[in-house]
Amino acid sequence: MARIGNFKSSHGTVETPNIMPVINPNLVAISPRRLWEEFRTKIIITNSYIIKRTEGLKDEALEKGLHDILDFPGTIMTDSGTFQSHVYGEVDLDPIEIITFQEAIGSDISTILDRFTEPDDTREVAEQKVKDTIQRARQATSECEGSIALPIQGSIYPDLREKCAKVLGDLPGTLYPIGGVVPLLEDYRYDELVKVVMSSKKGLGPKGPVHLFGAGHPMIYPLAVLMGCDLFDSSSYIKYARRGDLMYPDGTRNISDLEYLACNCPVCRNTDIDGLKDESDEKRTMMLAEHNLWISYMEIGRVKQAIREHSLWELVEQRARGHPSLLDALNTIHGYWKFMEKFEPRGRRRALFYTGEFTFNRPLVKRILHWIEEDYSPPVKDAPSIVFNGKYLGKPYSRYLTKELEYLLPDYMVNLLVNTPFGLIPLELDGVYPIAQSLFPGYVSYGEIKDLVVWNGKETLESLEKGKGMSLDEMRVRSISDFQFCKGAGSILSDGKLEFVYNRKGGINNILLDERHILSVRAYDGLFSLKIPGATLLKDKLPPPILRIKVNDDSAEYNSQGKNVFAKFVLEAWEGIRPSDEVLIVDRNDDLVAVARAMLNKEEMNVFDKGMAARVRQGIER
């Protein structure tokens, strides 16, 4: 669910995920101009309630505009006073008056005056606040023309959060903040934060961008981005500095407890702990605020890089080891694996790294293990299964079992399993991500093998009956196709004479059925690339909408020429499509026009009106 995007306003483009330093117009710590020039900050957030109630500042803002009085050329978001109602009690503001004021002073993103739901609100109170928030959102979006942020409320009640998000998502909002979470963040109630964010995301869907209000500490960024949050506002950089605290990705340390500055940010690089302690209170506070901001931007950079290289789950698991509350949150997030799995590709170009027992609960891992347990059909019906112990083998396991396989296949009616850190895996899946593309330390348990025939050479052969079985490569076609495409695809793609083209290392490059090239093997994840003959077979034998993306007539014409599919032209997509899946592009009449690789899942294709839905690999001239 993590994503890198571009958020555009009339004052530039902001790459997300990103942070918005909070600027108090009456108490500026680091000037917006310095943020722009030195920290390369593209977006900030300030409070329109404070501006409106401050004599002189209000008139200046109305006369000169927000960007002029703050001296910031980038994007500016304004809050409405809702947080002040949490701190001081209900504020005396008219919801429409404050939103029109924000537009009048030139805010790039104005926020409605929502009702802050407290974690200890009763359900009845939270329900009423949600109703008020929705009513104000409807009024604001109908009466105002600018970009509007619609905060999602609902306290700690998942169904209220989901309902609020679903209703607000149907309104023409620009940004969807998740509000009312500051008390959870302050009290390290991260497991409850996960429930709030995930229920909000379930209701909202892939719409966005999503802003997590009050999440100013870098230790929360990897987890929040993993759940699909895009923007964070941070006043923590100055609040923590004023009490002598330095923020780090793994927690907070007070300057009085430090003997070394274990940091390479510009501030810490140019001083030492003694020099920092010797500074005046004002100077030291400023230096700590700068350190905290640098650390925040560095962590956002790490998160972005992790998204690009497909290692964000590893980063989240590593960070979770730094605080017990983050471990609670990680444990909670695994309960949402079926929802998160919809956004996970079946394969990746980077090997899976084991970081602890939580690794087995990642959605991508849970998906294949759940499929093996619930949907896997052994290639040879009513045949015994033989288990090989993979603990002392390299990967893929079958490469180290050539002699054993020569004894068994295809002369014996058997199915083959291998014991792995993931559990018992069909041997024909040993090259599929993440079975082969994974790194585990030596101490990880391979589990016990019970009630199955364990390979024991000649003794095992003597216990079996001979009969016409399958080659391992035939098994691969059947099982991998069923896993990758849908149940039954393996039978379709193996109904005839199979031939295999091998590479120098003995691995399969191409697969032919009745002399037609139907599949190629992707080297990096062991899955298949569909060729036109294979796609035609699947289209003819599988009922709509399975495996399909249906496009309008204009798009179909272009896609047949090899041009990519864009989301706004998609009429319908199959629920089972995941990003990077091989898909069939069809027209209104279900005629095949191209074979492509999906870039989005069905939900994203339904929501997005920009961007690529599928990358066409081969079109069919019409």
Which tokens is 315 given? 């980063």
Strand partners, 466: 412
CA neighbor of 578 nearest in space, from 340, 315, 309, 223: 340
Backbone dihedral region of 600: left (phi > 0), alpha (psi from -120 to 50 degrees) or beta?
beta
Distance between CA atoms of residues 439 and 156, nearest Å: 38
Q: Is residue 167 within 8 Å of residue 195, measured between CB atoms?
A: no
CA neighbor of 89 nearest in space, from 119, 116, 52, 53: 116
Distance between CA atoms of residues 437 and 445, nearest Å: 18
CA neighbor of 173 nearest in space, from 212, 140, 202: 140
Q: Is residue 209 within 8 Å of residue 7, measured between CB atoms?
A: yes
Q: Which amino acid is at 147?
A: S
Q: Is residue 614 within 8 Å of residue 597, measured between CB atoms?
A: yes
Q: Is residue 261 within 8 Å of residue 276, measured between CB atoms?
A: yes
Distance between CA atoms of residues 155 and 447, nearest Å: 42
Strand ranges in 185-291 using DSSP code E only, listed in sequence order: 210-212, 231-234, 245-248, 251-254
- How far the first Cα of the chain sits from its last, in Å, is 37
From the candidates 79, 230, 430, 482, give the one annotated as an active-site residue.
Answer: 79
What DSSP string runs through 400-468? G-HHHHHHHTTTB--EEEEEETTEEEEGGGTTSTTTSSEE--TTS------SSEEP-THHHHHTSPB--
Q: Sort strands 352-353 and 438-439 into parallel, antiparallel or unpaired.
A: parallel
User: Is residue 473 annotated as a catalytic residue, yes or no?
Assistant: no
Q: Is residue 46 within 8 Å of residue 78, measured between CB atoms?
A: yes
Distance between CA atoms of residues 130 and 136, nearest Å: 10
Distance between CA atoms of residues 577 and 598, nearest Å: 7
Distance between CA atoms of residues 554 and 55, nearest Å: 58
Q: Is residue 515 within 8 Å of residue 612, measured between CB atoms?
A: no
Q: Is 25 strand, coil or helix?
A: coil
Strand partners, 528: 521
| Helix and strand numbers, DSSP H then E, in the chain | 26, 28
Which tokens is 223 given? 């987890």
> Number of C-alpha atoms within 13 angstroms, CB side, residue 480?
31
Q: Is residue 188 within 8 Å of residue 323, measured between CB atoms?
A: yes
Q: Which residues contact 420 (CB under 8 A, 6 or more apart)?
A: 390, 397, 435, 446
Backbone dihedral region of 188: left (phi > 0), alpha (psi from -120 to 50 degrees) or beta?
left
Q: Is 380 strand, coil or helix?
A: coil
- Which amino acids are annotated catalytic? 79
